[in-house]
Chain A
Amino acid sequence: MSLSTLAAMPCNPAVGGLAKGQLVREIDALGGEMGKIIDATGIQFRMLNASKGPAVRSPRAQADKALYSAHMTQSLIAQPGLTILADRVESLVIVDTDAGGKRVKGVLTQTGRRLEARSVILTTGTFLRGLIHIGESQHSAGRGGERAAVHLTGSLMGTGLALGRLKTGTPPRVARATVDFTTLAEQPGDAQPQPFSFTTERITTEQIPCHITYTNETTHGILRENLHRAPMYSGQIHGTGPRYCPSIEDKVVRFEHKESHQIFLEPEGRHSQEIYLNGISTSTPRDVQEEFVHTLAGLERAKIVRFGYAIEYDYVEPTQLRASLEVRSVERLFLAGQINGTSGYEEAAAQGIIAGINAARSAAGDTPLVLGRDEAYIGVLIDDLVTQGTTEPYRMFTSRAEYRLVLRHDNADRRLTPRGYAMGLIDRARHAAVKRKEAQIQQGLEHLNRTREGSKTLAERLRRPEIVIAQILASDPAFAAFGFSPAVLEQIEIEAKYASYFERQAAMIESFQRMESAAIPESVDYTGIEHLRLEAREKLTQIRPASIGQAARISGVSPADISVLMVYLKKQTAASA
């Protein structure tokens, strides 16, 4: 273990992407670091879905892995109150509570350290009994070149937690100097790169292009001939892999009629000699990787500097957590990232900031921060995990958010910066700026709703698809006189343009919130409620929803079960009153 692997990126050299970009913006709005660091170190910025509506646009950047890690490490070292130790945790220190439960008191490390703590957060990534597969060979590792955490699983199981096994993979990397880029299509960054962080004014660094190549029939033939040597097919791998990120051997089998698959050649840094082959994650043997990589246009003479591999690792069934990310059966123990069954840097960071906030709050005796599905993608992510659980590495998609029209990357600051301020993660000046922005947006919208141009208000005019806010600025001097910033104007335009959709989502959110605010005490004994169906009793006992709303989202719990539950809760509150 060493500091040099802090914020290392073992998989693709990118931050953000569809739905993930929203997560990064939310983390930033709450006071997290991810957006600032990628803004400072990214080498190519693109706004995905730029031609679509504002709710599904997502920022993405190619990262400079070494620089990202270095900047993040610096930022952590500079953080007051934070001590960093590099050591491997072997087990948890668990004590019994007076109430008959369990509480974490600290950790024991490989070097014999006993670290006492009021709260503990585990973020084990793929290290928990990590097992790397390359063809027929397999070896214990946390990720390429790092040792696995072998004993911690036993310590977790000792507390009664149920664990499962997942699988993920990574593609080979080739030496930049050995790639012939001349024949390949170029994918440049945006002409006007947009930053992730609300605190970054603009991106000024020079952008580096990516390149695109494709697999072909020869590639597919080689993969098919060697399927029996791929651990996914030989039965050597037991963990479940992500459906949205299949290996190239998987793609060739499952989509046998697709003649070619796209591959992005992504540099791992501005000065890095490694090119990441995005699209061909594989665990085939080294000789097969050598052979098929050389069938790709531009890579005929490419030298593989790191081979692709699959990795299996342990995760904790996330339905055993509260929405605060605290383990329900072990007080003060928090889990975040891949240990909860997710995949992706952004998903991990989103949980990390919530686990961090709540670990600190629980140590201080404060109530946890729980974001709703109506407030943030972070809320959707955590609620999905703790309510539904997951059987494959969970990735965020915009379609998972039922209120996605209002959970936009562009308004993450309006949604979450006040929450971050309340948690002490946002300074007064930044909070004041967001409040000022909000006031201006409301002022602008009121003006547009009040001011008529002919028979229509300006807001109504703006609803027409062909009208943009610049035309309103040009035609209405009073509106222009407010002197709103582009960021404020953007919000006014979006709010006015899609007002009817937002009104409907607001109505849905209102009834959602009523269900969420009907709390269920954790002490309810579901097995004693006779008129709940058996499946509902089991599921409710297992997941222990915090509210009627969450209970209703559990698969296998019917509306009638919810009715019965409400009746019993009424009895309970009346009895205790």
Chain B
Amino acid sequence: MSDPTALDTITAIASPPGRAPRGIVRVSGPRTLEILKARFQPALHQEQGFTATTGTLDLDAGIRAPARLYLFRAPRSYTAEDLCEIHTVGSPPLLDAILEVLLGAGARLAEPGEFTRRAFLNGRLQLNQVEAVARVIHAADRAELKHAVEQLSGHVAGEVAHLREALMHITSRLELDIDFSDQDVQIVSTEEIRERIEITGQKIRTALAAQAALPIPEDGVTVVLTGPPNAGKSTLFNALSESTTTIVSEIAGTTRDVIAATATIEGIRFHLFDTPGLREATDLIERAAQGAATDARRRAAIELLVLDGTATAVPEVFVAPHDAPRLTVVNKCELSCPLPHAASAISASAVTGAGLDRIRHALVEQVRTLPAAEHAFVPNRRHREALAAALSCLERADEAAAANLSPEFIAVDLHGAIDQLKQITGEITTDDVLGKIFADFCIGK
């Protein structure tokens, strides 16, 4: 078995994710040298064997990244193909930018375990290593799959499903016009097709732009403490804000009653907002204060609802669910806690410090499941490549529509876009598109 994909040049980030002193991007395949020559200074030599060169790599927008290039000429490399390792600063955005440049120059993102597969198929590994090679591929796939599942949780999956639905919709309308034109079905206009392409393209652009917004915002995560008066919010607020580093200040434009502090937990910065206890406002000042509290609550990425464990019931105003994900803390647990509460609630005592670590841990966990940037679907690298490719397909489809080409020329690129989305959404088959036609239109003579 020779490798039927051997003409492709593949690339991937080879260093572990996250910040590290050094980052590595690996490229392998017949076009390796050609791609790097175009981007690297000083000029690369085409010597046999192994060379290491220090220089800079040209990223777009006039940025040059310092890099050391380890070039292994075929067949004397791990994969037995031309292979290059780009060693640079271990900054995730920088590695991403390098990867993007390589992909733009015609490399393809490596499949899980593909470098190892190539090494094996090209005879660089022993036959008795088959098991090990298969295990590498299997494990890489599982790791990626796990990551993909995490990515696709909750409303992110919804976003992708919308995208998929939109593409299916446009494609099914075009295919209807092609394959069922001999029946009395309503054909959509070019204008409508273009409009739908534009809307879908815009959604993809939004998703691609969201890459700038990291899942954990650089500027911290907003946590708002809410709850009835005298539940012990302020005590908890002070306990959570590490007093030595806490900056307590008034927030401009809000009333003096909303107080902010920061806390760093497991490397994540949190902005804590203490709010006045919510209850029926009895006077003007109180109403103003509570308006501010409500505003703060709206901005919350996480709401920390603090309840008085010694109370007998949860006040009505806190029963209704809120926009932001909510963690419930039943406070004052140094005393008896007669308050009936959900099992997921955290029992704590701001006074004794009991349960504080559980709150901190819950906050970090909550951040990990937060929809990034609060609304957008932040694609991972593979998804991003797929989305970018899908977007170029949509742009070509729109050009074809604008030029009034026959629907099959528009459809060819829409199918291309759908093919790209397969990486994120799983298979969309021709039969799915046909199924949509059969479901939406009365077909059949």
Chain A residues, CB < 8 A from B117: 563, 566-567
Query: In whole angstroms, what is the CA distance A570 to B131 when docked?
Result: 12
Query: B121 contacts which of A17, A530, A567 (Cβ < 8 Å)?
Result: A567
Which residue on A lies nearest to B5, using beta carbons?
A514
Which among A50-58, A299-307, A438-446 touches the partner chain? A50-58
Q: Tell whether, in the assembled complex, residue A243 and residue B435 are in contact, meaning their CB atoms are under 8 Å apart.
A: yes
A-B residue pair count with CB separations less than 8 angstroms: 154
* A564 in contact (CB, < 8 A): yes
Question: Would you give the shortest CB distance from A520 to chain B, in whole angstroms?
Answer: 9
* A154 in contact (CB, < 8 A): no
- Mark contacts of B146-170 with chain A using CB atoms, 8 A cut-off: 1 yes-contact digit, 0 otherwise: 0000000000000000000000000
* A405 in contact (CB, < 8 A): yes
* B267 in contact (CB, < 8 A): no
Query: In whole angstroms, what is the CA distance A517 to B6 when docked?
Result: 13
Q: A18-B179, A399-B434, A567-B137 are in contact. Are A560 and B121 (CB under 8 A)?
A: no
* A471 in contact (CB, < 8 A): no
Q: Tell whether, in the assembled complex, residue A518 and residue B442 are in contact, meaning their CB atoms are under 8 Å apart.
A: no
Q: Tell whether, in the assembled complex, residue B138 and residue A564 are in contact, meaning their CB atoms are under 8 Å apart.
A: yes
Q: Tell whether, in the assembled complex, residue B180 and residue A18 are in contact, meaning their CB atoms are under 8 Å apart.
A: yes
Query: In whole angstroms, what is the CA distance A548 to B121 when docked?
Result: 14
Query: A399 contacts which of B137, B179, B445 (Cβ < 8 Å)?
Result: B179
Q: Tell whether, in the assembled complex, residue A531 and residue B135 are in contact, meaning their CB atoms are under 8 Å apart.
A: yes
Q: Tell whether, in the assembled complex, residue B134 and residue A573 are in contact, meaning their CB atoms are under 8 Å apart.
A: no
Question: Would you give the shortest CB distance from B326 to chain A, in whole angstroms?
Answer: 38
* B237 in contact (CB, < 8 A): no
Chain A residues, CB < 8 A from B405: 53, 465
Query: In whole angstroms, what is the CA distance A156 to B244 when docked?
Result: 83
Question: Would you give the shortest CB distance from B430 to chain A, in whole angstroms?
Answer: 5
Q: Tell whether, in the assembled complex, residue B434 and residue A567 are in contact, meaning their CB atoms are under 8 Å apart.
A: no
Question: Would you give the shortest CB distance from A261 to chain B, in whole angstroms?
Answer: 7
Which among B32-40, B368-376, B407-415 touches the partner chain? B407-415
Chain B residues, CB < 8 A from A19: 179
* A436 in contact (CB, < 8 A): no
- Mark contacts of A257-276 with chain B using CB atoms, 8 A cut-off: 1 yes-contact digit, 0 otherwise: 01001101000000000000
Query: In whole angstroms, what is the CA distance A12 to B7 when docked?
Result: 49
* A254 in contact (CB, < 8 A): yes
Chain B residues, CB < 8 A from A511: 5, 7-8
Question: Would you give the shortest CB distance from A52 to chain B, in whole angstroms?
Answer: 4
* B438 in contact (CB, < 8 A): yes
Q: Tell whether, in the assembled complex, residue A56 and residue B135 are in contact, meaning their CB atoms are under 8 Å apart.
A: no
Chain B residues, CB < 8 A from A515: 4-5
* B230 in contact (CB, < 8 A): no
Q: Tell whether, in the assembled complex, residue B141 and residue A560 are in contact, meaning their CB atoms are under 8 Å apart.
A: yes
Q: A515-B4, A560-B111, A571-B127 are in contact. Are A56 and B178 (CB under 8 A)?
A: yes
Q: Tell whether, in the assembled complex, residue B184 and residue A262 are in contact, meaning their CB atoms are under 8 Å apart.
A: yes
Q: Tell whether, in the assembled complex, residue B178 and residue A501 are in contact, meaning their CB atoms are under 8 Å apart.
A: no
Q: A52-B408, A563-B137 are in contact. Are A402 and B415 (CB under 8 A)?
A: yes
Query: A258 contacts which of B403, B435, B442, B445 (Cβ < 8 Å)?
Result: B442
* B140 in contact (CB, < 8 A): yes
Most buried by A among B131, B137, B404: B137
Query: In whole angstroms, what is the CA distance A575 to B147 when docked?
Result: 37
* A358 in contact (CB, < 8 A): no
Query: In whole angstroms, what is the CA distance A404 to B221 when docked?
Result: 51
Question: Would you give the shortest CB distance from B139 to chain A, in whole angstroms?
Answer: 9
Q: A18-B180, A563-B137 are in contact. Are A55 and B121 (CB under 8 A)?
A: no
Query: In whole angstroms, what is the CA distance A41 to B133 when docked?
Result: 63
Query: In whole angstroms, what is the CA distance A505 to B405 when docked?
Result: 17
Chain A residues, CB < 8 A from B1: 518, 548, 566, 569-570, 572-573
Query: In whole angstroms, what is the CA distance A559 to B184 when docked?
Result: 41
Which residue on B lies nearest to A562, using beta carbons?
B111
* A400 in contact (CB, < 8 A): yes
Size of the B side of the interface (Cβ < 8 Å), in residues, is 54
Q: A400-B430, A465-B403, A555-B427 are in contact. Are A566 and B408 (CB under 8 A)?
A: no
* A484 in contact (CB, < 8 A): no
Q: Tell whether, in the assembled complex, residue B135 and residue A398 are in contact, meaning their CB atoms are under 8 Å apart.
A: no
Query: In whole angstroms, what is the CA distance A505 to B121 when docked?
Result: 28
Query: In whole angstroms, what is the CA distance A558 to B412 when docked?
Result: 24
Q: A243-B435, A397-B434, A563-B114 are in contact. Are A262 and B179 (CB under 8 A)?
A: no
Query: In whole angstroms, what is the CA distance A405 to B413 when docked?
Result: 12
Query: In whole angstroms, what is the CA distance A510 to B181 when docked?
Result: 32
Query: In whole angstroms, what is the CA distance A549 to B131 when docked?
Result: 23
Question: Would you give the shortest CB distance from A498 to chain B, in whole angstroms?
Answer: 7
* A568 in contact (CB, < 8 A): yes
Query: In whole angstroms, what is the CA distance A278 to B443 when docked?
Result: 12
Chain B residues, CB < 8 A from A566: 1, 3, 117, 121
Chain A residues, CB < 8 A from B78: none
Q: Tell whether, in the assembled complex, residue B113 and residue A563 are in contact, meaning their CB atoms are under 8 Å apart.
A: yes
- Mark contacts of A365-401 with chain B using CB atoms, 8 A cut-off: 1 yes-contact digit, 0 otherwise: 0000000000000000000000010000000011110
- Mark contacts of B180-212 with chain A using CB atoms, 8 A cut-off: 1 yes-contact digit, 0 otherwise: 111110000000000000000000000000000
Chain B residues, CB < 8 A from A53: 405-406, 408-409
Query: A559 contacts which of B111, B408, B409 (Cβ < 8 Å)?
Result: B111
* B100 in contact (CB, < 8 A): no
- Mark contacts of B428-445 with chain A using CB atoms, 8 A cut-off: 1 yes-contact digit, 0 otherwise: 011101110010001111
Q: A243-B438, A575-B127 are in contact. Are A531 and B134 (CB under 8 A)?
A: yes
Query: B182 contacts which of A17, A255, A388 (Cβ < 8 Å)?
Result: A17
Query: A563 contacts which of B111, B427, B429 (Cβ < 8 Å)?
Result: B111
Chain A residues, CB < 8 A from B438: 243-244
Query: B445 contacts which of A245, A517, A559 (Cβ < 8 Å)?
Result: A245
Chain B residues, CB < 8 A from A245: 443-445
Query: In whole angstroms, what is the CA distance A530 to B4 when docked?
Result: 22
Which residue on B lies nearest to A264, using beta carbons?
B445
* A48 in contact (CB, < 8 A): yes
- Mark contacts of B375-416 with chain A using CB atoms, 8 A cut-off: 1 yes-contact digit, 0 otherwise: 000000000000000000000000000011111110110010
Query: In whole angstroms, what is the CA distance A573 to B179 when docked?
Result: 44
* A236 in contact (CB, < 8 A): no
Query: A56 contacts which of B127, B406, B444 (Cβ < 8 Å)?
Result: B406
Query: In whole angstroms, what is the CA distance A264 to B445 when docked?
Result: 8
Q: A243-B438, A465-B403, A567-B120 are in contact. Are A399 and B433 (CB under 8 A)?
A: yes
* A527 in contact (CB, < 8 A): no
Most buried by A among B3, B114, B182, B445: B445
Most buried by A among B120, B127, B404, B409: B409
Query: A555 contacts which of B182, B184, B409, B429 (Cβ < 8 Å)?
Result: B429
Query: In whole angstroms, what is the CA distance A251 to B183 when docked?
Result: 14
Query: In whole angstroms, what is the CA distance A245 to B442 when docked?
Result: 9
Q: A53-B408, A501-B412, A571-B127 are in contact. Are A560 and B445 (CB under 8 A)?
A: no
Chain B contact residues, CB within 8 Å of chain A = 1-5, 7-8, 111-114, 117, 120-121, 127, 130-131, 133-135, 137-138, 140-141, 175, 178-184, 403-409, 411-412, 415, 427, 429-431, 433-435, 438, 442-445
A-B contact pairs, 9 of them (CB 8 A): A53-B409, A243-B438, A245-B443, A258-B442, A262-B184, A465-B403, A531-B134, A559-B141, A563-B111
Q: Which 9 A-B pairs have CB atoms at the shortest separation, nearest pair first?
A: A53-B406, A560-B141, A531-B134, A569-B1, A243-B438, A255-B442, A52-B406, A514-B4, A531-B138
Chain A contact residues, CB within 8 Å of chain B = 12, 17-19, 48-49, 52-53, 55-56, 60, 242-246, 251, 254-255, 258, 261-262, 264, 278-279, 281, 388, 397-400, 402, 404-405, 465, 498, 501, 505, 511, 514-515, 517-518, 529-531, 548-549, 555, 558-560, 563-564, 566-575
